Amino acid sequence: MNDNFDIQDYMTRGVERVVRDAVKATLKNPRESAFMLKFGSASKKASAKRKMLEGQGEHIPPFLIASITSSCNLHCAGCYSRCNNATVDSAPADQLTGEDWHKIFSEAEDLGISFILLAGGEPMLRRDVIAQAAKRKNILFSIFTNGTYLDDEYMTLLDKCRNLLPVLSIEGNKLTTDTRRGEGIYDKLTDNMNKLCEKGIVFGASVTVTAKNIYEVTSDEFLDTLSKRGCKAVIYVEYVHVNDKTVTLAPTDKEREYMSDMLSRLREERPDIVFISFPGDEKSSGGCVAAGRGFFHINSHGGAEPCPFSPYSDINVADTSLREAVNSTLFNALRSGDILLDDHEGGCVLYEKRSLVEALVADSVK
């Protein structure tokens, strides 16, 4: 690792690149371009705020992942969230309220957090929370949705509030998508993509990259299909196996290297689409950027976790502030130790080193 590596500078430049690429990608959509330009200005102010706090010895990441519900209507094969019992068919009554999330979003804006990824479960089940997000115009909320609840009411809201960016989950072609997500899901997704395109609403696609679909989802055929429907962002999420039965789905080192090279080529050859990879190339970021280095996760019950793939927490935002959560004992231990920087076989070091994370949690609550 480079001892002079500056995580704050790296993530700030990453945010600015995403905004810059998004402006380029929306040049043919005046309303969306106007919003992205305004957001770009707000994002720079947020970056300056984070840099000021960094100078005072307080690190604030630019990204937050918020799982606003634990409920989902689908049973996708190999879903890490269901395997961790973080996602269920019917959400329990003690998940955070809309007002709780309003407080979190408000504090996030005050701290200079520019991007919040809304996840679940299925986030569009929480209309009350998404309505709160719509009010925060200086934060770009990407809504990672399975697309099955994207009705007329949501279409109207998305058209009015351009800080809400729907990101529809798709696995590749019809057969690949329906095999993992359920029969008829691909047709539902593409139908909603067409409706978004007709209304001039910018949307993205989230693709879970596995050893089985990696070449399909980076192919010209697949990306041309998305582009023609108006997709302006593709987020590749590397599959993390959750048990021994699904280990063969996880991309190998060779496939991860292919993905890294392919991303560089796609960003150059397809400027109309923003390409983002998660967890991405950890070598260029000085190691894993979870646990508040670049982002952190709030689960549906308020627990502050390093990452959705590392569901461990020693603090709850329902009982404290977002600021205190970023500086939790667990997060500080992970950021100051070597776990995030360790070599590992798969795409997620925290999942592979979960026994060490569990030990840190145990120590923090003694």
| Residue-wise pLDDT tens digits, 162-220 | 999 999 999 999 999 999 999 999 999 999 999 999 998 989 999 999 999 999 999 99
The phi, psi pair for 296, rounded to 5°, reads -150, 175
Q: Which two tokens stand for residue 348?
A: 């997620």
Asked if residue 39 has pLDDT above 70, the reply is: yes
What pLDDT, on the 0 to 100 scale, is given for residue 345? 57
Q: Which two tokens stand for residue 31?
A: 């309303």
Average pLDDT over residues 287-299: 90
CA nearest 46: which of 110, 97, 107? 110
Residue ranges per domain, the chain?
A: 7-364
136's CB contacts (< 8 A; 6+ apart) are 105, 106, 109, 163
Residue type (1 letter), 347: G
Stretch among 7-11, 15-19, 153-157 having the lowest mean pLDDT: 7-11
Confidence tier at 26 by pLDDT (50, 70, 90) = confident
How far apart are alpha carbons 216 and 53 in whole angstroms?
43
CA separation for the pair 339, 5 (Å, rounded)? 17
**Amino acid present at 286:** G
Higher pLDDT, 325 or 340: 325
Compute CA distances 119 → 43, 64, 93, 255, 340, whole Å.
Answer: 22, 11, 18, 26, 23
Q: What whole-number distance in Å separates Cα of residue 139 and Cα of residue 322?
A: 16
Strand residues in 174-310 grouped as ranges (E): 203-209, 231-238, 274-278, 295-298, 304-305
- Signed CA dihedral, 306, 308, 313, 315: sign only: positive
**Does residue 254 have a pLDDT over 50?**
yes
Sequence-distant (6+) residues with CB within 8 A of 68 are 96, 101, 118, 119, 120, 121, 123, 126, 129, 130, 300
The pLDDT of residue 240 = 78
CA distance 279 to 263: 13
Using DSSP bridges, classify how beta strands 140-145 and 164-169 pair: parallel, antiparallel or unpaired.
parallel
66 vs 78, higher pLDDT: 66
2: confidence class by pLDDT, cuts 50, 70, 90: very low
Quote the CA–CA distance of 200 and 196 in Å, as a whole number: 6
Strands 295-298 and 304-305: antiparallel
pLDDT surpassing 90 at residue 318: yes
Taken in order 279, 107, 139, 92, the sign of the CA dihedral is positive
Whole-number pLDDT of residue 276: 85
- Mean pLDDT across the stretch 260-289? 80
Q: Is the pLDDT of residue 260 over 60?
A: yes
pLDDT of residue 77: 83
Mean pLDDT, range 23-42, rounded to an integer: 85
Strands of 203-209's sheet in order across: 274-278, 231-238, 203-209, 164-169, 140-145, 115-119, 63-67, 295-298, 304-305
Q: What is the pLDDT of residue 286?
A: 65
Q: Average pLDDT in the 336-354 region?
A: 74
- When the pLDDT of each residue in the chain is averaged and rounded to a whole number, the result is 88
- Let me know the angle formed at the C-alpha of 364 by 361 and 366, rounded to the nearest 5 degrees: 110
Q: What's the pLDDT at 161?
A: 93
At the second CATH level, the architecture of 7-364 is Alpha-Beta Barrel (3.20)
Amino acid at residue number 334: L
Q: In the structure, what pLDDT confidence band is assigned to residue 158 with cuts at 50, 70 and 90?
A: very high
DSSP states of 34-59: HHHHHHHHHHHHHHHHHHHHHHTT--
For residue 1, the model assigns a pLDDT of: 40
User: Any idea which of 16-20, 112-116, 219-223, 335-339 has the lowest mean pLDDT?
Assistant: 16-20
d(CA 257, CA 260): 5
Q: What is the mean pLDDT of residues 145-168?
A: 95
Share of the chain above pLDDT 90, in %: 58
